Amino acid sequence: MSQPPPRHSRSDAEVAAFSLPRDRLPWTIRASNQFGRLLLGTSTRVSVGGLEHVPKHGALILASNHVSNADPPLIANWLTSSLGRPVHWMAKAEALEWPIAGPFMRMNGAFGIRRGAADTEAFRLAKSVLDDGRVLGTFPEGTRSPTGALQVAKEGVTLLALRTGAPILPIGCIDTDLFWPRGRKIWRIGGRIRMEVGVPFVLERLTGPDGRKESLQDVTTRLMLHIAALLPPRQQGVYGQLLAPDGPPGGVSDGPVR
């Protein structure tokens, strides 16, 4: 089992995260993924594209839009097998104490953040996962969109990517808001949902002709354009009008994954 670089005593959340192997999927996650595929697959038609873009090794940030409670299981159950290693998700600490869902979430790589914890603590936990060469699952918007369209994203994932140099794998969850709308306790039977995986990229902070570095907000916009490009127009939201008709998102080529 892999060990993170020694530096400080680890919190309970870090212990939970690092208890999973770094470069292989334990049988518990494989079994969980098969069950999740069966459950979703018998409830709606699921299609997936772009799995050939998934990196097999090294630190990686998954960055997806978030419109439904169906998004995490869709990503976990269909992407994890292509990764061949666990995805670590930050979750509310109290959620991990729920009788059935809690153990299930922990088994699948979730680690808890206590309510009221400082953003710096959450950032440190996420960075420690990437520093150990693991996969971190994120939703840059921070919460589910009430409309199904992209909202203005927060800057946390951008800062994490810039600080660690970890490549980002953009993911689009399509029509999951129609399958399991926000505010509804259970999903609807029927319809179809899709997950589209984009090309991984390294986010870089560009310098203008005047020698000034672009703002974190502008860098975040470029990150979100990679996600918007994977979505249908109705889900592109505030980033739809910024998409270039041809070429890379926003007309800017982010750093290649080496």
Question: What pLDDT is attached to residue 250?
Answer: 46
Segment among 84-88, 168-172, 242-246 with least mean pLDDT:
242-246
pLDDT one-digit tens code per residue, 140-162: 998 889 999 999 999 989 999 99
CA distance 224 to 96: 29
Burial of 241: CB neighbours in 10 Å, binned 0-12, 13-18, 19+: exposed
Which is nearest to 77 in space by CA: 126, 137, 119?
137
Confidence of residue 258 (pLDDT cuts 50, 70, 90): low
pTM: predicted TM-score of the whole model, two decimal places: 0.86
Confidence of residue 28 (pLDDT cuts 50, 70, 90): confident
For residues 74 and 193, the answer to whether their CB atoms sit within 8 Å is yes
Confidence of residue 6 (pLDDT cuts 50, 70, 90): very low
For residue 125, is pLDDT > 70? yes
Question: What pLDDT is attached to residue 124?
Answer: 85
CA distances from 257 to 74, 192, 203, 238 (A): 25, 32, 10, 27
pLDDT one-digit tens code per residue, 192-206: 999 999 999 999 998
Would you identify the CATH topology of the domain 12-251?
Glycerol-3-phosphate (1)-acyltransferase (3.40.1130)
Helices and strands counted in the chain (H then E): 9, 7
> How many Å from the N-terminal Cα to the C-terminal Cα in the chain?
26
Work out the mean pLDDT of the chain and round it to a whole number: 84
Contacts of 178 (CB under 8 A, 6+ apart): 148, 188, 191, 193
Average pLDDT over residues 237-248: 79
For residues 169 and 197, the answer to whether their CB atoms sit within 8 Å is yes
Contacts of 180 (CB under 8 A, 6+ apart): 68, 69, 70, 186, 187, 188
Contacts of 36 (CB under 8 A, 6+ apart): 73, 76, 77
